[in-house]
């Protein structure tokens, strides 16, 4: 969303979706919120289907939007950690509700006929 500051939005929900929408951002936020600070390769192993380039892009966008912190340590080899900001932490209850909604939807509307990677 940091790339869209001059864009005119129809409503606040549209802003929210521009910040956390997409295939990977909520998954990244879920792992950081539920498991705490992670390094790049830890996130990559938790989300095996994401490419390195896409993970980098998504992390940069979340950082630009002030949803995650990126902490670089001055060591060799380089060490970078990602964690949630206060804005990011405020999304966790929303993600919890979305998780519960999805679980109920799979059970009730889809008759449990969907495969979920655990």
Instruction: Report the CATH number that the domain containing residue 76 is assigned in CATH.
Output: 1.10.10.10
pTM: 0.87
What percentage of the chain carries pLDDT values higher than 90?
Answer: 71
Lowest mean pLDDT among 26-40, 76-90, 98-112: 98-112
pLDDT bucket at 34, cuts 50 / 70 / 90? very high
H helices of 5-51, in order, are 12-20, 25-35, 40-46
Domain that holds residue 43: 12-115
Written as six digits, the tokens of 115 are 């495969």
What percentage of the chain carries pLDDT values higher than 70?
Answer: 95
Angstrom distance (rounded) from CA 48 to CA 43:
9
Identify the pLDDT of residue 111.
85
Cβ neighbours of residue 38 under 8 Å, at least 6 residues apart?
Answer: 31, 32, 46, 81, 82, 83
Between 4 and 24, the higher pLDDT residue: 24
Quick check: bond before 77 cis, omega within 30?
Answer: yes
Coil, strand or helix: which one is 62? helix
Identify the pLDDT of residue 1.
53
Domains identified in the chain, total number: 1
In a domain, 6, yes or no: no
Identify the pLDDT of residue 5.
64
> What is the 8-class DSSP label of residue 9?
P
């Amino acid at each position: 969303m940091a790339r869209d500051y001059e864009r005119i939005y129809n409503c606040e929900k549209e802003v929210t979706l521009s910040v956390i929408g997409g295939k990977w951002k909520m998954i990244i936020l879920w792992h950081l919120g539920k498991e705490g600070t992670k390094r790049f390769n830890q996130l990559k192993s938790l989300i095996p289907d994401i490419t390195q380039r896409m993970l980098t892009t998504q992390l940069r966008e979340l950082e630009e939007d002030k949803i995650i912190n990126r902490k670089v340590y001055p060591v060799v080899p380089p060490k970078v950690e990602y964690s949630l900001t206060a804005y990011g932490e405020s999304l966790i209850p929303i993600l919890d509700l979305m998780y519960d909604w999805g679980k109920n939807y799979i059970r009730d509307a889809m008759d449990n006929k969907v495969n979920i990677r655990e």
